[in-house]
Amino acid sequence: MKSRTPPADNRTVSLRANSASSIRALSTEQSLLANTSIKALDTLNSIAIVHSIHRQDSTVSQAVAAVLPQIAKVVDAAVKSLRRGGRLIYVGAGTSGRLGVLDAAECPPTFGVSPDKIQAVIAGGERALLHAAEAAEDDAALGARDLAEKNVDSRDVVIGLSASGRTPYTVGALRYARSRRAFTVAIACNSDSPLEKIARIAITPLTGPEILSGSTRMKAGLAQKMILQMISTAVMTQLGNVYQNYMVGVRPTNAKLVARACGIISKITGASERAARATLQLAGNDVRTAIVMLRRKLDPEKAARLLALRSGNLRKII
């Protein structure tokens, strides 16, 4: 399938929103030194610096708590999307983009979901994961083109990540997603942003000024990471990839994960570690199949068929 050409209004996004004056007006760009209780970092020793950072980081949870209803709505939308064959796609630049890539990359080994179901698009491509590609974030047309390569449609949920809420690359990408009738979401740390105006749902944790002024990889980044983990974990739970509080979709691809998988099987079934390990091998290293084998006294083939009938949801079986 060929990718679709982005609409004309995505080819240019004015950079006036990123002028020096407009950037300085953002809450995430303000200086904490206006607060008389905050001391200049370069006057402090190591323990005082880390205490200062920790005090600021401790406020992030409150900012995220204020947007939990919006997060839950996004979870519901993503569950609906994935159930009908759609995808959850994160898009962003810089730190925000890397956080999207991180969360998407961790879902397959943690939940056993196919990598094509939760994806990430980052300005500058794979090279931007290890090397700064900040110029790419100013290109709105590039954001639209990169998302067009994903053949986004109405079944998908696309989440635009930007601390400022005005990164041209992310704005262009989300605008394109909206033109394709995808379910659009903005996660930004400043209110009334261009990204928020495009999105169907806006998640806006107001984390405020950074202890290192303007370094939104800190509190803003922490808030975005928390929110992404909430979304993906809640979505995977709703889809049956979690049983009780156990990650039963885990893929045991190394010694640590094999041990973790055997522990999960033992806790859920009451089997010994030895029995859990043997059953896991018979189940082709599929944790859920092993659990069904032990709980329902079935051979691997019958256990796998039963799981398939229940869309892999252990709660419906045991």
> Measured in Å, how far apart are the chain's first and last C-alpha atoms?
41
Cβ pair 219, 210 in contact under 8 A: yes
Which residue(s) pair with 202 in the sheet? 186
Helix (H) or strand (E) holding 121: strand 118-122
Burial status of residue 275 (CB atoms within 10 A of its CB: 0-12, 13-18, 19 or more): middle
Is-catalytic flag, 106? Answer: yes
Return the sign of the alpha-carbon dihedral for residues 21, 27, 29, 33. positive
Alpha-carbon distance of 79 to 237, in angstroms, equals 10
Structure token pair of residue 106? 């961790």
Residue found under tokens 């943690």: 110
Cβ pair 189, 221 in contact under 8 A: no
Alpha-carbon distance of 102 to 78, in angstroms, equals 18
Is-catalytic flag, 29? Answer: no
Q: Which residues of 68-81 are buried (b: 16+ CB within 10 A; e: fewer)?
A: eebbeebbebbbeb
Burial status of residue 35 (CB atoms within 10 A of its CB: 0-12, 13-18, 19 or more): exposed
Residue 130 DSSP one-character state: T
What's CA 197's distance to the chain center, in Å? 21
Task: Specify the 3-state DSSP secondary structure of 222.
Answer: helix
Contacts of 156 (CB under 8 A, 6+ apart): 81, 86, 87, 88, 89, 150, 177, 180, 182, 183
Q: Looking at 106, 126, 134, 301, which residue is catalytic?
A: 106
Q: Looking at 29, 137, 196, 210, which residue is catalytic?
A: 137
Alpha-carbon distance of 196 to 171, in angstroms, equals 9
The catalytic residues are 106, 137
